[in-house]
Amino acid sequence: MSVAFRRESDEEHKEPRFELPIPAGPNLVTENGVALIDARIAELEAEQPTADEARRAEIARSLRYWHTRRVTAIAAPAPPADEIAFGSRMRVRMDGVERDIRIVGDDEADPAAGLIAFSAPLARALIGAGEGETVEMPGREGAILVVAILP
């Protein structure tokens, strides 16, 4: 029989499953960041015993990512009260709309909830600004006004 018609298994034809990418740079986290990582690990470990084989492989892959993130987590110091830094909460005005945001670690980010990763362009533009300052962001028309730095 020709080699072209032989099929050992479906596994050899699947796309390889690479590890989840780790964001570049330091793994800065807020005081809540370590607790979020620990909760995600506990959730995955609780699911693992009852999962089917394919799901267990996905869980193992996710656990490798989260264990790495836990080991490399660096709790950032409290931000200064008068300048935007990692961990700062602030109220900004963009396009005439005010919204509260907080600068957090990559794994904590949830833009819809106002949690912006410190590596995001918006956060990088705001870091170092003070209350009442306007910040220009490359590629964006109009300035961002820092209305208040919140406790």
The string of pLDDT tens digits covering residues 4-28 is 555 565 556 666 778 889 998 899 9
**Per-residue pLDDT, 13:** 60
Stretch 71-78: mean pLDDT: 95
Stretch 36-49: mean pLDDT: 97
Provide the whole-model pTM. 0.82
User: Is a pLDDT exceeding 80 seen at residue 139?
Assistant: no
CA dihedral defined by 150, 107, 72, 53, rounded to 10 degrees? 150
| 81 vs 100: CA distance, rounded Å | 16
User: Is a pLDDT exceeding 60 seen at residue 1?
Assistant: no
Asked if 116 and 102 touch (Cβ cutoff 8 Å), the reply is yes
User: Is a pLDDT exceeding 80 seen at residue 44?
Assistant: yes
Average pLDDT over the chain, rounded to an integer: 90
pLDDT > 70 in the chain, percent: 90
